[in-house]
Amino acid sequence: MIELMRTSKDSMAQSYAGDVYNTAVYLKRAFADVNVGIMSAVGEDALSLDMIERFGSESINSELVFKSDSRNAGMYLIQTDDEGERTFTYWRENSAARTVMAYVDKYVTAELSQSDVFFFSGISLAVIEPQDRDALWSLISTLKANGVQIIFDPNYRARMWSTPAEAKLQFEKAFRLSDMVLPGIDDFAQLYGIDTFDGIIEFCQPFEISELVIKNGPEGVRVITANQSEHFAIQAVDNVVDTTSAGDSFNGLYVGARLQGLDISQAVHLASKAAAVVIQHRGAIVPSADFSAAFIQQYM
């Protein structure tokens, strides 16, 4: 999406962001050898075309970014308080991304089936037109049957759903199909009223998720697999500027690390360090040079 950020009472800075895109950016920056692509739809307006160029500048494959001749890219405004917590205002009812499943045919499905991983989020589910969700589930089921690892970040945003029941129905379909799930405690607290690690673990047991990675900010991370359940402490950050993309950057580094064969402890270590860097900068995407200087040179 087009990201606007207030820089003063009368001025804004413009960039591009979105949870799946943010995850892709940080994964690719840290693990340059991984082939990362994004599937979405944009318009033919100048900002949409600039967005595709931005994907290229981050070395993200945009072959499956389709162009709509009747819709434009979605937009949001981000504002942060004195503690770095953010609020959003969205303009995306006519977003081209809502129609992305209209472009998915057998050729797109065949191309995606060559992937190692398919990553999607609760925002992905909320954004697409409700009548297109069955097509998405059919696609994901096909990918899973073809050996693609399915990874889901719930990323619940109440205002994007008509009712909590609608979100629960879609999320639970995602849980059933996903090999890895990366929820934040906040996601479950808002949607299910569950605000503890143990509560989420119990809730997720029937879905037989192979790798459950529960994030709770400075309270740490709990990872559950068939063979282990381990809690990882996270060092708190004193200078929190903007928490936007904290979870997305964690996801990108965690998924990338696991794809590269790193163990869970190494993956959590790198992912938490990346998130710590990101929350000390404004906006979802830290300038590449700043991220490299603060993270890659120090931890990779």
Q: What is the predicted pLDDT for the residue at 54?
A: 95
Q: What is the predicted pLDDT for the residue at 290?
A: 83
Using one digit for the tens of pLDDT, what is the confidence trace for 9-20?
788 888 888 999
Tokens of 254: 């965690």
Using one digit for the tens of pLDDT, what is the confidence trace for 78-131?
777 776 566 778 888 889 999 999 999 999 999 999 999 999 999 999 999 999
Domain ranges in the chain are 20-68+97-299
CA gap 256, 282 in Å, rounded: 23
Q: Residue range 233-248: average pLDDT?
A: 81
Q: What is the predicted pLDDT for the residue at 236?
A: 77
Q: What Å distances lie between residue 70 and 98, 99, 239, CA to CA?
A: 12, 11, 43
Query: Who has greater pLDDT, 216 or 244?
Result: 216
Give 58's pLDDT tier (boundaries 50, 70, 90).
very high
> 192 has which bridge partners?
none
* Portion of the chain with pLDDT greater than 70, in percent: 97
Which residue in 129, 108, 222, 118 sits closest to 174, CA to CA? 118
Q: Give, in words, the CATH class of 20-68+97-299.
A: alpha beta
For 206, other C-beta atoms within 10 Å of its C-beta total 10
Contact 4, 13 (CB under 8 A): yes
Tokens of 17: 């962001």
Strands 65-67, 180-181: pairing is unpaired
Q: What is the predicted pLDDT for the residue at 235?
A: 80
pTM for this predicted structure: 0.93
User: Would you please indicate which residues are annotated as catalytic (active-site) residues?
Assistant: 248
